[in-house]
Structure 1
Amino acid sequence: MQNNVMIEPLHAARQFVEKYFPNCQAAVLAGSVVRGEATATSDLDIVVFDRELKDSYRESFVDFGWPIEVFLHNVTSYKKYFTMDYERARPSIQKMLAEGIVIKDDGIVDDLKKDAQEVLDNGPQRWTDQTIDSKRYFITDVLDDFIGCSTIQEELFIVNLLAELVSEFILRTNGKWLGTSKWVFRLLKAHDEQLAFQFFEALNRYYETKDKTQIIEFVDNVLQPYGGRLFEGFSMGKTT
């Protein structure tokens, strides 16, 4: 029977690992509770390493009064996720390991943390000029749709896509990691607080008044150092 009484997160994490994964080699508690950012809906994020596992997977639990997300790896399978997260510029497992609190350790966590921190410090792979041009083209395409759209239902979905593409462009052209959901604004703010709030204010003005002006100006200012909007002359996949 599950324990529905919420207890202190680190204590809950230790009891959880002992109950469900007593033979694991290592376990690390990560996420918002470690960063001091927990809310009423936060869960516990726990990374577990168990040499008996055939492959990595994740599983959700509710116990000790907490929703718990477990990310399970054996002592080698995590490397695939290191590579995947690096290539998509979203270092989820690296961040969890680097910031996490050790719950259990048979002598492997120090090396894991060192490897994770090294990836985080080095940053994602830089975009090539060709990639930047491609991103400029697709942002231009969506921006043109936004400018020309006269149907509010469609316009709302267009502006959401535009915000996603422009956020990615800002972060990646500046050698920063990506995130999703709440992390988009957090990462933008960490990169350039003034720019992040300019972006927020442009979006907020649109949502409140449906005035597109600030969003259009903001996007043009982001693209300007890289050549501005791009349509004429752009090609992809062309062979000579």
Structure 2
Amino acid sequence: MSEINRINPYKAAELFTLNHFPNCNGALLAGSVVRGEGTETSDLDIVIFDKNLKSAYRESVIEFGWNIEVFVHNLTSYKEFFKSDCERARPSLPKMVSEGIVLKDSGIIEAIKQEAKDLLAKGPEEWSAETIRIKRYFITDALDDFIGCSMRAEEIFIANTLAELVSEFVMRTNRQWIGTSKWVIRSLRNYDEKFADHFVDVFDTFYKTGDKNRIIVMVDDILKPFGGRLFQGFCLGK
């Protein structure tokens, strides 16, 4: 979507809310434009609260020169989404609500925002010893495949899997929220910027040169405090 045809994001969000949800109880504009991270391809994330809505839904539309993602809830449905987001350690809706700019408020937004902020501050549930053990095994399995692989095409995709598994392991063993896609690195940087830069550099070196050694050393260093690689004796479902 060309920026030439766009109107101001806040104005676009206000007009969208007025046109489509004139009787809603509250509305928020969230996402990259609110954080000052908007790009040419950024969309508008709008969260709507309407007490008369029977069930929650999500919809994508294009209006006012913007791609718009609208997340529509009644005054209880958002709680289930808060809960499920936190259980998977990816608090998408709580984050949108906590950072969102108010577009409309009948007196409900402050309390909902506080719910979101409290959940984010609490962090995800701690991984159990058994979960850590299972994750160690699958990281070990991917690492062994990576070490033994001699086909460049396959190495690239194994490295991708390792990056996802290892970043999740680091974040969750430190009771930090995780993310997907661009939020993987953003989450890592929010936790430890120095480690995040190292993590990127290690994988970037492999993608550029094919040198696996730095990835192998980093993964072993991460697993070491938890007992290192795990294969012998691992059992699941017996």
Q: TM-score, normalised by structure 1?
A: 0.96
Aligned to 2:5, the other structure's residue is in SS state: coil
- 1:12-161 equivalences under 5 Å are 12-161=12-161
* C-alpha separation in 1, matches of 2:51 and 2:109: 14
**CA distance in 2: counterparts of 1:197 and 1:217, whole angstroms:** 16
Counterpart CA distance in 2 for 1:79 and 1:194 is 35
| Cα deviations by residue, 1:143-173 (Å, 9 ceiling, x for unpaired) | 0000011111211111101100000000000
Unaligned runs of 5+ in 2: none
Q: RMSD value over aligned CA atoms?
A: 1.0
What stretches of structure 1 move > 6 A for 4+ residues in a row?
none
How far apart, in 2, do the equivalents of 1:180 and 1:207 lie? Answer: 20
* Partner Cα distance (1:191, 1:116) in 2: 19
Q: String of CA shifts for 1:22-51, please: whole Å, max 9, x gaps.
A: 111110000001101101110100000112
Q: Which residue of 2 aligns with 1:226?
A: 226
Unaligned runs of 5+ in 1: none
- CA-to-aligned-CA distance 1:50-108 (integer Å, 9 cap, x gap): 12222111101111111110001111111111111011000011000100001001111
SS at match of 2:121: helix
Report what 2:162 is aligned to: 162
Matched, 1:206 2:215: no
3-state SS, counterpart of residue 29 of structure 1:
strand
Q: Encode CA deviations 1:154-213: one digit per residue, 9 max, x unaligned.
A: 111111011000000000000100111111111111211121111111101110111101
Whole-angstrom CA distance in 2 between matches of 1:13 and 1:157: 39
Q: Percent identity, aligned pairs only?
A: 58
Between 33-42 and 48-57, report the one with greater CA deviation: 48-57
